[in-house]
Structure 1
Amino acid sequence: MEKAFNRLAEIVAHAAGRAWAFVLCVVSVVLWAIAGPAFHYSETWQLIINTATTIVSRP
């Protein structure tokens, strides 16, 4: 089980370090910002980006 987890972690780390992953993150934040007025800058709207950035940036 540990070997499988290590392999998966290696694959994910490699993918996250690619240029397309960075572009995907930037596009996501831009789309989130554009959606703000449609959702009246609600708490849920803010929670979405807060949760996403916390998940991505946790070691």
Structure 2
Amino acid sequence: MKKHKTNPVISKFDSFATEASKAMGSTAVFFDCIDLGLTGPVFDYSETWQLIINTGTTIVTFLIQKAQNKNSLALQIKRNGINSLKLSQNSAHQNGLLLRLPKLNPGL
């Protein structure tokens, strides 16, 4: 597998996105969003209010999506490792490189 140089800016952004997505899932942030949504009538649903709501939603969605993509990639790498391990074990069994041990009888 190729080893890529890690860009420090991307690394910091990944770290930020992960931490932000964790924070966005908290109860306090949920209630803050509810409070912000309830301020609509106070500001008469002005264009500025709508801009703030839409911008915040877009940013949060992007950060959560970034963190989920990172988690999906890590999971796929783990699955690939397990599959290659299974393939190599099957190959070793087929080539007679591993001993097949009899199953033990627990009743004895």
Query: What's the TM-score once normalised by structure 1's chain length?
Result: 0.65
Please, which runs of 5 or more residues in structure 2 have no aligned partner?
A: 1-5, 67-108
Q: Which residue does the alignment assign to 1:52?
A: 56
Q: Which residue does the alignment assign to 2:32?
A: 28
Amino acid at match of 1:46: Q
Provide the aligned length of Structure 1 versus Structure 2. 56
Please, which runs of 5 or more residues in structure 1 have no aligned partner?
A: none
Match among 6, 14, 21 for residue 10 of structure 1 = 14
Instruction: Quote the Cα distance in structure 1 between the aligned partners of 2:10 and 2:47.
Output: 37
Which one has more relative contact order, counting CA pairs under 8 Å at least 6 apart?
Answer: 2
How large is the RMSD of aligned CA atoms in angstroms? 2.1
Moved more, 2-11 or 40-49: 2-11
**Greater CA radius of gyration, 1 or 2?**
2
